[in-house]
């Protein structure tokens, strides 16, 4: 579907079928996993993402790292991007813990990732050419109002998915507002704190967009309109979240960002070198061709970025109020939370 996030609307409700054995975080990330290659590469770049091999080699490490990064740096800072009107900021405040503390939690998370991945593949069967359903269901190939049915389904499911997500969020807010959110109307953060956070996120996002625009020739609509802005927004939110969560130890926050962006920069540089010297290098390595090197580099970059992101997310700092000493805690999501929540 044109809007990758729409896939979440077809996966997240499955948690209601087995609340104890499914994880919403895993379902949502898994439902978007096959398209994550585009957003990592900042262009419509596709290798093995829509395959079982891709799930094992790309989606499993990447989605695990993204889950920890989201719950460590992004989810806690979401209220800083929402207005106080209607208690939107307080509604978005995290009220439960998240972590993979036990073997069962890992099994639930990975199983949810895979189920979400399967829902993505199932929806793509109806909305893309040369799929199992496309080849066997003739009505998908019919032309209606100047376009094929499968293409209309692609747009229709995208709009439905986004609409369903928005309506569900409004419904949850309305229930919260009618209950415990009715009495407490104080803003969660000051206006200055929110403005500073948003400006910091916008600055980081703008830097990503400028680098992307500078790195390509001409104006490529899909890359600059449909892909890069979403990656830039996520990076901006992540960057601001890291700095805010480490405001009492800014040096550590900057170090984490340096490691994450440094690994991404190394991956970009290795791709640039491969484009220019890949054929020559492949000729010197028996049994390998250019495409072998290409896939090895890409999967290696995914693992490198995932590893660095996971380390940055699981390396937290807490402060002892008694003596103001800093204690470094490793494994923030790997054993410090009492229970597993989605």
Give 280's pLDDT tier (boundaries 50, 70, 90). Answer: low
Q: What is the dihedral of CA 51, 54, 59, 61, to 10 degrees?
A: 150
Tens-place pLDDT, residues 94-119: 888 898 989 999 999 999 999 999 99
Considering the chain, what percentage of its residues have pLDDT values greater than 70? 85
- For the four alpha carbons of 212, 213, 217 and 219, in that order, the dihedral sign comes to positive
Q: What does the pLDDT look like over 28-42, one tens digit per residue?
A: 999 999 999 999 998
User: 297-312: per-residue pLDDT in tens?
Assistant: 899 999 999 999 999 9
pLDDT in tens, 140-169: 989 888 889 999 999 999 999 999 999 999
293: pLDDT confidence band, cut at 50, 70 and 90?
confident
- Over residues 171-197, the mean pLDDT reads 85
Question: What is the residue-averaged pLDDT of the chain?
Answer: 86
Alpha carbons 16 and 13: distance in angstroms, whole number: 6
pLDDT band of residue 272 (cuts 50, 70, 90) is: confident
50-77 tens-digit pLDDT: 999 999 999 999 999 999 999 999 999 9
Residue range 235-250, pLDDT digits in tens: 999 999 999 999 999 9
State the SS3 of the chain: CCCHHHHHHHHHHHHHHCCCCCCHHHHHHHHHHHHHHHHHHCCCCCCCCCCHHHHHHHHHHHHHHHHHHHHHHHCCCHHHHCCCHHHHHHHCCCCCCCCCCCHHHHHHHHHHHHHHHHHHHHHHHHHCCCCHHHHHCHHHHCEECCEEHHHHHHHHHHHHHHHHHHHHHHHHHHHHHHCCCCCCCCCCCCHHHHHHHHHHHHHHHHHHHHHHHHHCCCCCHHHHHHHHHHHHHHHHHHHHHHHHHCCCCHHHHHHHHHHHHHHHHHHHHHHHHHHHHHHHHHHHCCCCCHHHHHHHHHHHHHHHHHHHHHHHHHEEEEECCCCCCEEEEECCCCCCCCCCCC
Digit-coded pLDDT (tens) for 202-260 = 999 999 999 988 888 777 777 888 899 999 999 999 999 999 999 999 999 999 999 99
């Amino acid at each position: 579907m044109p809007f990758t996030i729409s896939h979440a609307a077809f996966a997240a409700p499955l948690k209601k079928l087995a609340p104890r054995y499914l994880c919403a975080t895993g379902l949502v990330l898994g439902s978007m996993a096959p398209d994550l290659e585009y957003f990592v590469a900042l262009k419509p770049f596709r290798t093995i993402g829509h395959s079982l091999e891709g799930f094992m080699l790309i989606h499993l490490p990447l989605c695990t790292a993204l889950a920890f990064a989201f719950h460590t740096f992004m989810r806690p800072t979401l209220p800083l991007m929402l207005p106080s009107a209607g208690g939107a900021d307080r509604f978005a405040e995290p009220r439960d813990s998240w972590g993979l503390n036990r073997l069962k939690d890992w099994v639930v998370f990975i199983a949810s990732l895979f189920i979400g991945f399967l829902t993505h593949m199932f929806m793509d069967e109806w909305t893309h050419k040369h799929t199992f359903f496309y080849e066997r269901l003739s009505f998908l190939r019919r032309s209606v109002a100047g376009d094929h049915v499968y293409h209309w389904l692609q747009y229709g499911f995208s709009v439905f998915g986004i609409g369903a997500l928005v309506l569900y969020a409004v419904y949850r807010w309305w229930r919260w507002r009618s209950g415990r959110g009715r009495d407490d109307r104080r803003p969660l953060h000051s206006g200055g704190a929110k403005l500073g956070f948003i400006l910091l996120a916008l600055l980081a996002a703008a830097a990503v967009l400028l680098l992307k625009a500078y790195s390509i020739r001409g104006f490529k609509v899909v890359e600059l309109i449909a892909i890069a802005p979403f990656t830039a927004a996520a990076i901006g939110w992540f960057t601001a979240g890291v700095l805010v969560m480490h405001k009492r130890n800014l040096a550590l926050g900057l170090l984490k960002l340096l490691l994450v962006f440094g690994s991404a920069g190394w991956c970009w540089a290795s791709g640039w070198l491969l484009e220019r010297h890949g054929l020559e290098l492949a000729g010197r390595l028996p049994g390998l061709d250019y495409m072998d090197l290409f896939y090895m580099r890409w999967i290696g970059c995914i693992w490198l970025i995932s590893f660095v992101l996971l380390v940055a997310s699981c390396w937290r700092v807490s402060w002892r109020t008694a003596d103001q000493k800093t204690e470094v805690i490793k494994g923030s999501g790997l054993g410090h939370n009492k229970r597993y929540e989605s």
